[in-house]
């Protein structure tokens, strides 16, 4: 995949073909979110693109760092006052 140089602040058009019922669904959701269609679509597409790329990111660490990471995952959680208080507080709906 080749890198493309972009001018800062420059915008480009993105044309989409979309079924009317899908456009209406997006418009309703955008309206409820207080955004216009373009803002809503761009935000959703950017979020999905970031998630897709992050899901495929590989972290390379030394064997020692990996063992330390696993040890922290396997260690029991430390008791925290706020968590203990939260767990003892009755739920507002119950």
For residue range 50-69, what is the model confidence (pLDDT) as tens digits?
A: 999 999 999 899 999 999 99
Helix (H) or strand (E) holding 11: none
- Span 23-51, pLDDT tens digits: 999 999 999 999 999 999 999 999 999 99
Number of residues that this document lists for the chain: 94
Beta strand ranges found along the chain (DSSP E): none
Per the confidence metrics, is the pTM higher than 0.75?
no
Q: Which two tokens stand for residue 37?
A: 């269609």
């Amino acid at each position: 995949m080749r890198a493309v140089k972009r001018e800062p602040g420059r915008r480009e058009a993105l044309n989409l073909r979309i079924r009317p019922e899908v456009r209406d669904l997006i418009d309703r959701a955008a309206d409820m979110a207080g955004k216009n269609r373009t803002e809503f679509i761009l935000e959703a597409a950017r979020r999905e693109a970031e998630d897709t790329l992050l899901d495929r990111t590989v972290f390379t660490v030394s064997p020692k760092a990996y063992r330390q990471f696993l040890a922290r995952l396997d260690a029991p959680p430390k008791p925290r006052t706020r968590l203990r208080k939260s767990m003892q507080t009755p739920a507002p709906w119950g």
